[in-house]
């Protein structure tokens, strides 16, 4: 596979798959433009090379229909401001009108296509749709790590039809950071895994036992592990069908001499509400009618102690319902401990990136991934379909 820097880009039509799936308010105003900013190094590089730049992305889940609220037009406006340069926009992504518009592009100009997912063919990797996208370019660049675990037309299918394909700076950076933090880290390597369910991170948990020295488990998923040890978890969320699996993970970790740290106390609540009654209790004293919504004080202290011993930290998943102030303390304590430690730190994207931002550590950790699902996919030990497609393309 060629590097972007080894491809002759001058005057060519360069199609870039970006991830501009951004959060917006009810007035279609962008509330977080970090994903746009992450693509600016590549876009500015292409401008300097006087390429004709075509950007494509998805937004939300329109289910194959045109949804005005999910148009990428506001993104074109924001990108124009960030670049201090006009960015064109067209209300479709394939067809004669789009081909004509691309044909009018001058060197250094940029055109953003409309939401790819307005066509259901995008998600099912329809090859005819992919071929129509390929007609718009001479070179294809994937700079959308966050969707590279999906076998979609714009990340996999298109590669079959474009003369030259490669990955962009952001995708390269994501893969390099994963390699540095997971495959070749400074040890001890500590993984902090949280969130709602084991089921969404089961394969990642199993695979991480091949790499980590220590593992901290928090969030609601810790309840299933505790129940596997015979602990009453009250009305806390538990995946009963995975209790035995949780026990097996604990057993395997012990065999590999990997220390797993589980909560020793919780902040429990009588209802799932920001106005709930709460109290801090030992894991052995959870009332039957109450539920754990955050790790407790003693757990925060214990987790912080282990975090300070680490040389490399991978964090994926919050410790509680951090969106509610009453149940944010555990996630905040872990976030603060990570940035106060001397360890190198990487944060899995998605919900964990949001938690890092709410806890005001997003500018202090070493790296925040732009893709939660893709990051987790790598943690499961899998190869990204988009990267496989690009590697196979090198044999054209």
Report the catalytic residues: 35, 197, 350, 373
Write the DSSP assignment of 111-133 as a string of letters. EEPP-GGGSTTTTTT-HHHHHHH
- Provide the b/e sequence for 300-321 (b: ≥16 CB within 10 Å): bebbbebbeebebbbbbbbbbb
Give the integer Cα–Cα distance in Å for 203 and 66.
35
Token representation of residue 284: 């052995």
Contact 381, 156 (CB under 8 A): no
Give the integer Cα–Cα distance in Å for 385 and 162.
17
Nearest to 46 by CA among 108, 136, 137: 108
- SS3 assignment, position 273: coil
Q: How many residues does the chain have?
A: 396
Query: For residue 34, what are the contacts with CB-CB under 8 A and spacing of at least 6?
Result: 370
Beta strands across the sheet bearing 110-112: 88-89, 110-112, 52-56, 13-17, 139-142, 164-167
On the question of a cis peptide bond just before residue 188, with omega within 30 degrees of 0, the verdict is: yes
Token representation of residue 118: 């307005």
Contact 216, 261 (CB under 8 A): yes
Query: For residue 394, what are the contacts with CB-CB under 8 A and spacing of at least 6?
Result: 1, 2
Give the integer Cα–Cα distance in Å for 240 and 227.
9
Nearest to 159 by CA among 40, 17, 347: 17
> N- to C-terminal Cα distance for the chain?
10
Token representation of residue 264: 């020793």
Contact 47, 55 (CB under 8 A): no
- SS3 assignment, position 17: strand
């Amino acid at each position: 596979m060629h590097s972007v820097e080894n491809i002759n880009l001058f005057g060519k039509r360069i199609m870039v798959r970006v991830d501009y799936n951004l959060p917006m308010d009810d007035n279609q105003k962008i509330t977080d433009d970090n994903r746009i900013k992450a693509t600016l190094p590549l876009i500015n590089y292409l401008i300097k090379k006087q390429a004709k730049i075509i950007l494509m992305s998805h937004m939300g889940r329109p289910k194959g229909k045109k949804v005005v609220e999910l148009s990428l037009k506001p993104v074109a406006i924001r990108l124009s401001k960030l670049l201090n340069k006009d960015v064109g926009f067209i209300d479709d992504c394939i067809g004669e009108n789009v081909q004509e518009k691309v044909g009018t592009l001058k060197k250094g100009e940029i055109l953003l296509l409309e939401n790819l997912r307005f066509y259901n063919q995008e998600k099912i990797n329809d090859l005819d749709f992919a071929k129509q996208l390929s007609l718009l370019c001479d070179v294809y660049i994937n700079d959308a790590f966050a969707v590279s675990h999906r076998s979609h037309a714009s990340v996999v299918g298109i590669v079959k039809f474009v003369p030259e394909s490669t990955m962009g700076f952001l995708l390269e950076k994501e893969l390099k950071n994963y390699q540095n933090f997971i495959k070749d880290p400074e040890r001890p390597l500590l993984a902090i895994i949280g969130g709602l369910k084991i089921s969404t991170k089961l394969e990642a948990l199993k695979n991480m036992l091949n790499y980590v020295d220590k593992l901290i488990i928090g969030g609601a998923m810790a309840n299933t592990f505790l129940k596997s040890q015979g602990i009453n978890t009250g009305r806390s969320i538990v995946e009963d069908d995975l209790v035995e699996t949780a026990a097996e993970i604990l057993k395997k970790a012990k065999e590999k001499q990997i220390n797993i740290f589980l909560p020793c106390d919780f902040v429990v609540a009588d209802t799932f509400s920001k106005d709930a009654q709460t109290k801090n209790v030992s894991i052995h004293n959870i009332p039957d009618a109450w539920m754990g919504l955050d790790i407790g004080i003693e757990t925060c202290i214990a987790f912080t102690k282990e975090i300070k011993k680490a040389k490399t930290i991978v964090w994926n998943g919050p410790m509680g319902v951090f969106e509610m102030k009453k149940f944010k303390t555990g996630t905040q304590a872990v976030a603060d401990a990570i940035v106060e430690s001397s360890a190198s730190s990487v944060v899995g994207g998605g919900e964990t990136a949001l938690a890092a931002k709410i806890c005001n550590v997003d500018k202090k950790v070493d790296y925040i991934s732009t893709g939660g699902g893709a990051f987790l996919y790598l943690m499961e030990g899998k190869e990204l379909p988009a990267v496989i497609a690009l590697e196979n393309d090198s044999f054209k």
